[in-house]
Structures are given as C-alpha cells and as structure tokens.
Amino acid sequence: MGIYLNPENDEYKRAINSEIYVDKTELIAVTNRKLNTEHQNICVSRPRRFGKSMAANMLVAYYCKNVDSRDIFSGFKIANDETFEKHLNKYNVIHINMIDFLSRADSVDDLIDYLQRRLLWDIKKEYSDVDCFDWNDLVDVLETVYSEKKLPFVIIIDEWDCIFRKYPDNVEEQKKYLDFLRFFIKGKSYVALAYMTGILPIKKYGEHSALNMFDEYSMTNQRELAEFTGFTEEEVKELCVQYDMPYEKMKQWYDGYELKGVQIYNPRSVVMSLLGRDFDSYWTKTETYEALKKYIQLDMYNLKSLVTRLIAGESVPVNPDKFQNDMTTLESSDDVLTLLVHLGYLTYDFDNKKVAIPNQEVQKEFINCIEDGGWEPVMDAIRSSDELLSATLQGDEEKVSSMIEQAHQENTSILKYNDENALACVISLAYYSAKKDYSIYRELAGGKGYADMVFVPRNNVNKPAIVVELKWNKSVSAAIEQIKEKQYVQSLKGYSGEVVLVGINYAVGKEDNGEFKKHKCGIERIRKLEA
C-alpha cells in the first residue's frame, strides 16, 4: 500500500459509515463504460461541499488493486451493474489531492517537483523489481511499469483547480501546471481512466486550451452526470420521510439547481438540516459571504440591475461560452454570472440560457451582501414587504398603491429602465417576504392565458392565494376584469378557497403641474370552489 499509489479505501469507508449516506455508486457504471475509450478523460466541476471528494474516494476504493472492496459495494446499486465484477479492484490507482501538494510548495515548480518525487517513492516501493531507465522521470517510470506489468493506471485528481485559486493572476504558473498535466496524462498508454474534479472548469488558453482531451462536466452542463452532482428529488423525499422532516420546506431551502431536467439539492445543507432537525444556512456558512459580495458589488457591466432582478426572483439571460474558467478574467456581466454558477450561487437553465438564484439559503446570502450600502432602495422594498403583504390581504388599496409607487420610484435608478419589466421586478421585490408562505410564479399558465404573478400558499399556510395582473397606462378595473375573463384563477390547480385578485396599473402622462406618474391598485376577493 502506498499513500498516493494504491492507497487504502479508508476515506470512502468513513463516508459510508456516516449516519447519512446516499448511494451514488452508479457513477462507477458511467466511468466503467469510459475506461480505455476516447472518453476516458473526465473533468467534473462542482461547487464546494457538493460531494466531489466523496466521489473521488469512491472511485479509488472501487478501482484500487491492493484492496478488497467487494463487501463495501455489495449492498449498493453498482453491485447490480454488469460491469461491476469486471473492473472491481483491477487497476493501479494514483490518487492526488492537489491541495496537499500546493500547501507544501511556494511555486508551481516546487509543487510539480514534490508531486513527482512523492509518486516515484510510492511506485519504487511497489515495483522495485522493474528495471527503469530513469527512476527520476515520472512518465518514463509509469510507461516502463505498464509495459512490464500490463496493468494500467486510473488517475484520480481532486481539487485539480486549486492552483488557479492560489495564483489567480499568474498566467505563467498556470500554464506550467497545465503543461505538466497534459504531459502526465495525454496520449499515455498507461492511463485507463483520468478523473479530475474541482470547482472550476478547465482553464482556456489558446493552444493551452485546456487539456482538450478531457470531457467536461460543469454546472452549466453536467450531461449524463447530473444525478450525481448532488441529491436528487427522490433521494431527498426518502430522507425527509426517514427523518420525519417536511419535504416542501426542504425543497424551498436547498433545492433549485436545475441540471438539464434533473432537480438537484445541495447535499451538505440537506444532511446538516436532517441531522440538526432545523433549517438554516449551512452551505453558505462554510465560507464567508465576502466571496459572493466581491463579485456582485462590482460597479460595472450593469451588474446592480441584474442582481436586483435576480433577488426579485427573475431569471436573467446569460451566455456562458466566453467565460475563461478563472476567477479574474471577467470582461462582461455574463462572465461574472457564469462564475457564480460554478461557485454554486446561481443555477443555470441550459435550455433557456438563463440564470437564477436557486433557493432560500442562497437568497439569504445575496441579501447579506447588499445590506452594506449602495442598495438602500432594494433593501427598503424588502424590509417593507411584510407590511405590503398585510395591506394586500386586508384589501387596503390606497396603502398598496402608495407602497408600490415608492418602491418603483426609488428603484428606477438601479434598474435603469422604466417599463413593464421594471414594474414587474419592483412588484416582486416589494412582495419579497411573501416567499416564506407562498410559492410565487411569474407568467403562470392558467385559464385562457398567463397570469402576471400568482402566489400559491405553501402547505399548512392558512392564507388566501393571490393573483396579480399588471397594466401599463390602462386601468385597475381592466386588470381585474382580465383576471376574471381569462380565468387566471384556474392556474391554482389543486387549490380551493379564497383568492385575492390584485390589479396594479402604472399610468404615465402629464398634468398641469408637470409630469404625472401614478400607481393605482384594485383588490377584490373571490372564492375558488373546485380543488
């Protein structure tokens, strides 16, 4: 047994011995199909605390030849896969956590030197009977060992991208590192599988573009690995039943990562919530909010307006393709927002090319970041939202009109536009606190069209549903009438009870005393009888 060559399976044992362990062993079936193929090089990027190291340790335990992991995996899903026996404990495994080497080095040169010497030490102990031409040349030694023993290597690199986080501005150091990895892995007969994992996708650099032999799986496109990125909906439902925790609230707090049709939950937060039997910001507490604040406070690229829309619950169009896969080359709002996707602060809708804040836990982090200056109008609207919701449910049309008008006027400078979209964004901000008790939908299909906003009470919440129609230079009565004529209440499927109809009109015109801007609100209650 070595430390880096063919290590023990103790790390994975610790994971499965934990009180909560979710079976993700079917990932092994995916990697088995890629062994010794054109797709044998895999780079998986996920946010911190999303199970990257656990997955790496699982692969080590399965492939490593010097251990017997049959009993470990026999009760898991992979044991039923046709490839299970074929590859179980059949390979030389090199397992590297790059942070271990980075912490011992003052430069990339030092890191590469120490890593090679440390690997060569393990290899020489295991294969002292092999006659190598140069025991100081890692690649030559690996090629010689493979040539004589005919036993290929599985190379697993965890935290592969930590160099780019430590040396964010040092292009030369970064290129040295990429060159080393390319020489170590690309086109080498001794490699049966290379699996790298980290937070960032592979760095793009012209001809260094990134170890182009790797198939990439990132938070903008996890492809067939989506279900292994975090906990799935079914997995969380089962855990909630087991721990007698409310699933809907778990979904509200920790769901929201949309990966090509697969709903993914933050695994760290779900586990901590279940163990503590409460709901709190567990994932965000593992790193100071300054990490997020640094980017959303950038006074460029119209970011303030975009972030305001995100906080309001909107989805924002993004082009992730030009992102250079680092934390410093940020040349547009698309780059900043794409980085936040990879860091886990936003979710990316692949089909619609839009980003959004995934859940309540992350939403709270955004609010923490904007409380300190420059965002007063947004915060004022949020702080007043309880009062606005109460006024709406009480049918106080004048108060609702006044509060909406104030929020709209104060936030126009941030949003930098004054139209229906700005009004919709302001309304969402103004009703921010309603998220605690309601699921809020924009442009929800129902009846004969799409309702502008629909508030559906969460389970065990004794409050009426709300349907909001916005008008621009028309009338409140027209808004209310449209809700009725087009039967928007039918969007409340499975709901029966009181429904508050809210019509909000923004009129633009001129009066004798100058420019006229006025919000008006109409409120009416009806009862939806059919469930």
d(CA 355, CA 333): 12
Say how far apart CA 332 and CA 319 lie, in whole Å. Answer: 10
Band (pLDDT 50/70/90 cuts) for residue 88 is very high
Radius of gyration of the chain, Cα coordinates, nearest whole angstrom: 27
- Half-sphere CA count of 488, side-chain side, radius 13 A: 30
Residues 75-83: what's their mean pLDDT?
A: 97
The pLDDT-based confidence of 147 (bands split at 50, 70, 90) is very high
**Helix H or strand E segment including 172:** helix 171-185
Amino acid 22: pLDDT: 98
Which band of pLDDT confidence, cut at 50, 70 and 90, is reported for residue 419? confident
What CA–CA distance (Å, rounded) separates 261 from 350? Answer: 9
H/E stretch holding 15: helix 10-16
Q: Are 325 and 200 in contact (CB under 8 A)?
A: yes
Give me the amino acid identity at 50.
Answer: F
CA of residue 136 relative to chain centroid, distance: 42
| Residue 294: per-residue pLDDT | 86
CA distance 43 to 185: 12
Q: What is the pLDDT of residues 389-417, one digit of tens each?
A: 999 999 999 999 999 999 998 998 888 76
Instruction: Pick the closest to residue 300 from 334, 341, 340, 324 (CA basis).
Output: 334
Q: Compute the mean pLDDT over every residue in the chain, rounded to the nearest whole number.
A: 92
Task: Give CA separation, 138 vs 112, 114, 522, in Å.
Answer: 11, 11, 76
| Cα–Cα dist 92/64, whole Å | 6
Q: What angle do CA 48, 52, 53 make, to 5 degrees?
A: 110
pLDDT, one tens digit per residue, over 478-492 is 999 999 999 999 889
Residue 362 neighbours by CB under 8 Å, 6+ apart = 256, 284, 344, 345, 346
Query: pLDDT tens digit string along 153-185?
Result: 999 999 999 998 888 888 899 999 999 999 999
State the CB neighbour count (10 A cutoff) for residue 203: 21
Domains annotated on the chain, with CATH: 10-217 (3.40.50), 231-369 (no CATH), 376-528 (no CATH)
Q: How confident is the model at residue 211 (pLDDT cuts 50, 70, 90)?
A: confident
CA distance 279 to 240: 13
Verdict on whether the full-model pTM lies above 0.85: yes
Calpha distance 159→524 (Å, rounded)? 57
Higher per-residue pLDDT: 83 or 286: 83
- Phi/psi for 262 (5° steps) reads -105, 125
Burial of 55: CB neighbours in 10 Å, binned 0-12, 13-18, 19+: buried
State how far the Cα of 453 lies from the Cα of 395, in Å rounded to an integer: 17
With a cut of 60, say whether residue 512 has pLDDT above it: no
Distance CA 350, CA 352 (A): 6
